[in-house]
Amino acid sequence: MRLVDSHAHIYSEKFKDDQTEAVAKAAEAGVDKIYMPNIDHTSIDAMLETEAAFPGQCIAMMGLHPTSVTKDFERELYLVEEWLSKRPFAAVGECGIDLYWDKTFLPQQQEALKVQLELAKKHKLPIVLHTRDSFDETYELVAAAQDGTLRGIFHCFSGTQEQAAKVKELNFLMGIGGVATFKNGGLDKVLPHVALDDLVLETDCPYLAPVPHRGKRNEPAYIPLVLKRVAELTQKSEEEVADATTKNALNLFKL
């Protein structure tokens, strides 16, 4: 089975000592593409170095994470725009709104997302959305910007059946990761009602490791654990889930 990790911070400091081994383990587990979202200016070098070290396996996006948005976010966005015009990236991301940690810069987060939605349209790229405690706020801005050309992923989807329907209406995909394996993650009530055509798999490593590794460092090699749980909840075979989610990811990301 060919698998894709559609969202992995494999360039993180958490992989400083064993990044090569982690990428090799992922390949052994069938994960032959790992898409890397950017955070801000501090993560670009490590991300691009990882991409260069594992060509064709680790593939970079470019964007500004909402938790890095502060009062001077324009400076960060200029850098994002500069990079997007300089070379190819798989997507704009990760970007969006995060109201879990701090609501202080919500207006700035909203403005930063609006700018990145326009950049995605300008560069004809998909957009990868972070929506922690902010699905409605993010959805509203994406829906307003949707002109029929926007595509992307609501990363780390853990919402309701109604929210899943809204994602589908936008012609976006849902990124499903370790939360699907959590006892109280909530996706057991949603995934049975969702089509495989609307899903991609992800780890968000080094965060949100699936059971039985919950609380430890996550890594792309754990994608098969997510695959297994999605297969159980959708009552499909693992092969069907692998084929569909891999096809969805590769169709979305042109790189």
What angle, 0 to 180 degrees and rounded to 10, lies between the N-to-C axes of helices 238-252 and 223-234?
110
Q: In angstroms, rounded to a whole number, what is the distance separating the alpha carbons of residues 96 and 4?
A: 22
- Among 226, 230, 228, which Cα is nearest to 5's? 226
The CA distances from residue 153 to 52, 139, 183, in Å, are 25, 12, 24
Amino acid at 143: A
Q: What is the CB neighbour count within 10 angstroms for residue 133? A: 12
- 3-class DSSP string for 179-211: HHHCCCCCHHHCHHHCCHHHEEECCCECCCCCC
- Among 126, 164, 171, which Cα is nearest to 35's? 126
Share of the chain above pLDDT 70, in %: 100
pLDDT at 237: 98
Q: In angstroms, rounded to a whole number, what is the distance separating the alpha carbons of residues 58 and 227?
A: 20
pLDDT at 101: 87
- pLDDT reading at 76 higher than 90: yes
Residue 79: pLDDT band with limits 50, 70, 90:
very high
Q: Is the pTM of this model over 0.75?
A: yes
| DSSP-assigned states of every residue in the chain | --EEESSB-TTSGGGTTTHHHHHHHHHHTTEEEEEE---STTTHHHHHHHHHHSTTTEEE-B---GGG--TTHHHHHHHHHHHHHHS--S-EEEEE---SS--TTHHHHHHHHHHHHHHHHHTT--EEEE-TT-HHHHHHHHHHH-SS---EEETT----HHHHHHHHHTT-EEEE-GGGGSTTSSGGGTGGGS-GGGEEE---BTSSPPTTSTTS---GGGHHHHHHHHHHHHT--HHHHHHHHHHHHHHH---
What angle, 0 to 180 degrees and rounded to 10, lies between the N-to-C axes of helices 135-145 and 106-122?
40
- pLDDT reading at 135 higher than 90: yes
pLDDT at 255: 72
- pLDDT reading at 254 higher than 90: no
Q: In angstroms, rounded to a whole number, what is the distance separating the alpha carbons of residues 246 and 151?
A: 16
Question: Which whole number is the average pLDDT over 154-180?
Answer: 98
